[in-house]
Amino acid sequence: MNTQLILEVKDLVTKFYTLEGVVHAVSGVSFDLEEGETLAIVGESGSGKSVTVMSILGLIQSPPGKVEGGQAYFAGKYGRRDLLKLTPAELRNVRGGQIGFVFQDPISSLNPILTVGEQISETLVKHLGMSGEEAQKKTIELLEQVGIPDPKMRYRNYPHQFSGGMRQRVMIAIAIACNPAIIIADEATTALDVTIQAQIVDLFQRLRNVIGLAVIWITHDLGVVAGLADRVLVMYGGRVAEIALVDDLYKRPQHPYTIGLLSAITRLDARRSNRLVSIEGTPPDMLIPITHCPFAPRCPYVFERCWQEIPSLIVVGKQHLTSCFYDLDKRRPRDG
């Protein structure tokens, strides 16, 4: 198979220097993204999933935040470049132009005093150098493409005149306006009701098939991921716990945290059971630097070694990596 990597992230480290101490938000995260692929980054709040992508795109506010290590090679229009080494102006060009975003909360990401049409046209004029008239025509096309009824009239509306689901469609229109190579959707459907969430997920799938977008889908919801992602990256405590193709992850999870997450969620197609399997304890305090596996305090398979060193990712199958010292198939600690 001849697939092109458009994003390669290596050993990313991001810390926040706060009054209470240093928050170790991301500690050595590596992953890559193929052209046209949908990669889901799954984790609970504070696991570092959003900080990971914000770091890559230079969106970490400094101070208090600081990207302290790693590389992020992006194969964009101007060749393969390390995003972490670009100037702020170059980065601005990448953001919006070649990498688009959709955030969780569309109301705070849209400007309340500009019409929706103006906000989309702005992107087109700025990044593609279109004239005002061209931009308006293209904007109406885009609104239609993301399923907003009566786009000509809606062009002149302000964000408050749109519902949550419609605003999210506007955000998607802005994100795809400049034909980006990648779209990053950060909890894009979390604030929406299920029936609206289904509409947005459906729209993403259609756009992926039509435009061939690569998508990084950040979420805490393993349910949405199942129907959407090609590969899944599970984060815990600022590190990668497991990466696998979507089928493998759900069928043959190789990290105790992934197993815990999968059994903690209720399934509509399951028979009513009396008790949920919960992961005992609480997520790690990111203020405390660790020298052991971050999941060790909550792990049912924990043994001596887990307390002595931090596991790194090892290959356990085709495109399947896990950072765990315990071999879940053989039910014993791994060799070496």
Partner 1 sequence: MVKNKVLLRIENLKKYFPISGGLLSRRVGAVRAVDGISFDIKKGETLGLVGESGCGKSTTGRAILQLYKPSSGNVFFENTDLTKISTEELRQFRPKMQMIFQDPYTSLNPRHSVGKIIAEPLVIQGLMSKQQRKDQVAQLLELVGMNPAFMHRYPHEFSSGQRQRIGIARAISLNPSFIVCDEPISSLDVSIQAQVINLLQDLQEQFSLTYLFIAHDLSMVKHISHRIAVMYLGKIVEFAGGNALFNNPLHPYTQSLISAVPVPDPQVERKRHRIILEGEVPSPTNPPKGCVFSTRCPLAIDTCFLAPPEYREVQPEHFVACHRVRAG
Q: Which residues bind partner 1 (CB under 8 A)?
A: 44-45, 163, 165-166, 193-199, 201-202, 220-227, 246-247, 250, 260-262, 264-269, 272-280, 282-283
- Residues β-bridged to residue 185: 102, 217
The identity of residue 118, as a single letter, is E
Q: How many CB atoms within 10 Å of residue 145?
A: 18
> Smallest distance from the beta carbon of 252 to partner 1, in angstroms?
12
Q: Is 49 helix (H, G, I), strand (E, B) or coil?
A: helix
Q: Quick one: 15 or 231, whose CB is closer to partner 1?
A: 231
Closest CA to 201 of 165, 150, 247, 162: 165
Q: CB nearer to partner 1: give 149 or 336.
A: 149
Question: Is the Cβ–Cβ distance between 329 and 253 less than 8 Å?
Answer: no
Based on CB atoms, which residue is closest to partner 1, 159 or 180? 159
**Smallest separation, CB 261 to partner 1 (Å):** 6
For residues 118 and 139, give the distance between their C-alpha atoms in angstroms, rounded to a whole number: 9
Choice between 223 and 333, CB closer to partner 1: 223
* Nearest approach, Cβ of residue 67 and partner 1 (Å): 25
Contacts of 88 (CB under 8 A, 6+ apart): 58
Q: Are 76 and 26 in contact (CB under 8 A)?
A: no
Q: Are 214 and 181 in contact (CB under 8 A)?
A: yes
Tell me whether residue 49 or residue 138 sits nearer to partner 1 (CB atom). Answer: 49
Rank residues 100 and 238 by Cβ distance to partner 1 and give the closer one. Answer: 238
DSSP tag of 93: H
Compute the least distance from the CB of residue 246 to partner 1, in Å.
Answer: 5
Q: Could you give the count of Cα atoms lying within 13 Å of 204 in the half-sphere of its Cβ?
A: 31
Closest CB 124 distance from partner 1, rounded Å = 27
Minimum CB separation of residue 65 from partner 1 in Å reads 22
